[in-house]
Structure 1
Amino acid sequence: MYQHILVPVDGSPTSQLGLDEALRLAALTKGRLRLIHVIDELSLAGSMGAYAAYSDWLEVLRTNGEELLDRAQAQAKAAGVEADTVLHDNFAGPVHELVIQEARKWPAHLIVIGTHGRRGLPRMVLGSSAEKILREAPVPVLLVRQPEAGGEAGPGAPA
């Protein structure tokens, strides 16, 4: 059960919540993780103001992505969980499509994603990779929501 757990990571606090939960699951099932980071057009556009040339932007994003994956893999190792990494940096498609392709190719038994759980206009404006993965994934998807401000969080929190 859940021997191959795919975990998209982007360095955000919500992504960390997803990774933490995936580590707990993998430890329980004696499974392994595949950590995936995708550099997409939005990543590139967000960094454009800081660098002069396209190749500079892309190299910085690649380096940051590799460091992010290395930290997540080290966290898995510290938890006694085997993990490998995949960096998609070739703009081969939107984040959700590449995650779904990786889930099929590996093959994953479960995808664990940290999500903001936005609703209404913010979700419509920003779109939701997590929602698209949830709708199209070939395997079960566990969404780990970030607690709302001022709310209790996590397993065992008072109801």
Structure 2
Amino acid sequence: MSSACAYGEAGCPIKRVIIAVDTSPESARATAYVRHMMLPGARIRIVSVAENPRVILPLGSMTDAELQLARNELARDAAEGVARAKNIFTNAGVDVESDVIEISRQGGYTANALIDAAAEWKADLLVVGARQHHGMLRWVEGTVSESVTTQAPCTILIVPASYEAPIETSPQRILFALDGSAASQDALNFGLRLATPESRLRAIYVIDRAVRLTDLAPMRVLEEAFVQEGKVALAAAARVFAELPNQAETAFVKTAQIHDDVPHAIVRDAEEWHAELIVVGTHGRRGVARWFLGSVAARTARLAHTPLLLARPGPGA
């Protein structure tokens, strides 16, 4: 298909995938996840960032020679991460290129370096592996927050370390969390690019019965508004699914009335349905509850044990 596909067009293939790696097992898992995706004709770029020792080490009175040794060691680690990732694509029949970005030479911070690399290469998808406070998450501490995901030039795929299912095929069970916005419709369309004809699809809309700030409107009125918005969102998804050969379904999901929220409901449903990929939009607010602070996508990213696609909104979403 032509490279002139509009953003969010489900039939438009993903052409350029950038994978951020280090030497951690989390990076290997994320790379293996991409290795088994059905991405015909896609180009893969593997990037590792050699961090600046002035930022990550208590330098004190380190001499220039000691500082250079630290730089060299960090560069070797980054190159090793790239080599390991490239090895995963051996005999995959995929066009793979790689780069080591040395922050000490170029300046800036690691997360920004990844975002800049994705922008310069015009990536469709940025892939990272993550675990709490270690491995790749130290690179993308801002990536899973609303502020940085809105700056990223492309959609982000996070493969958490806690995802333990075998990685042997393209995701066969894809869950789409919708909220009635244009951004979540864009996310649905983008996520369908990763589906094969054998993939099972499930679109959900979460009715938030644990709404805070209930003095702004009666709980009953809010719940009715959610239901009406959800009907529209799920009907739109059903129309898209009807044109596909996949086994597909739509469903309402409800939060508990206390001590619960939308991200927890999404993650629970994904685990109960055995999803292999969760897809959410990243517009930072949800449907009729526009006064709620914080991004559902960002909070879902912190909770999920399933690979999570944070789909960038299309123009005007």
Alignment TM-score > 0.5, same fold: yes
- Counterpart pick for 1:64 among 60, 77, 91: 77
SS at match of 2:84: helix
Shift of 1:56: 1.0
Write the distance in 1 (CA, Å) between the matches of 2:41 and 2:127.
16
Q: Does 1:24 align with 2:24?
A: no
Contact 1:2/1:110 (<8 A) preserved: yes
Shift of 1:43: 9.0
Question: Could you say if the C-alpha distance between residues 47 and 2 of structure 1 is closer, same or farther in structure 2, counting changes exceeding 3 Å?
Answer: farther
Equivalence for 1:108: 123
Contact 1:44/1:58 (<8 A) preserved: no
Write the distance in 1 (CA, Å) between the matches of 2:165 and 2:114.
27
The structure, 1 or 2, with the larger RCO (C-alpha pairs under 8 Å, 6+ apart) is 1
Write the distance in 1 (CA, Å) between the matches of 2:35 and 2:45.
11
SS at match of 2:100: strand
Matches within 5 A, 1:88-99: 88-91=101-104, 92-99=107-114
Normalised by the size of structure 2, how large is the TM-score?
0.40
Contact 2:14/2:39 (<8 A) preserved: no
Shift of 1:101: 0.7
- Counterpart pick for 1:38 among 36, 49, 54: 49
Equivalence for 2:154: 139
Equivalence for 1:10: 22
Contact 1:77/1:83 (<8 A) preserved: no
Contact 2:46/2:96 (<8 A) preserved: yes
**Code of the aligned partner of 1:134:** T
Shift of 1:67: 2.3
Equivalence for 2:97: 84
**Code of the aligned partner of 1:142:** L
Write the distance in 1 (CA, Å) between the matches of 2:57 and 2:91.
32
SS at match of 1:53: helix
Contact 1:44/1:61 (<8 A) preserved: no
Shift of 1:58: 0.9
Contact 1:147/1:153 (<8 A) preserved: no
Post-superposition CA distance 1:75-95 (Å, at most 9, x none): 213322221111111332111
Structure with the largest fraction of helix? 1
Shift of 1:146: 1.7
Write the distance in 2 (CA, Å) between the matches of 1:80 and 1:70.
17
Q: How many residues align?
A: 147
SS at match of 1:77: coil
**Code of the aligned partner of 1:32:** R
**Code of the aligned partner of 2:30:** G
Shift of 1:46: 5.3
Question: Could you say if the C-alpha distance between residues 58 and 137 of structure 1 is closer, same or farther in structure 2, counting changes exceeding 3 Å?
Answer: same
**Code of the aligned partner of 1:10:** D
Write the distance in 2 (CA, Å) between the matches of 1:11 and 1:134.
24
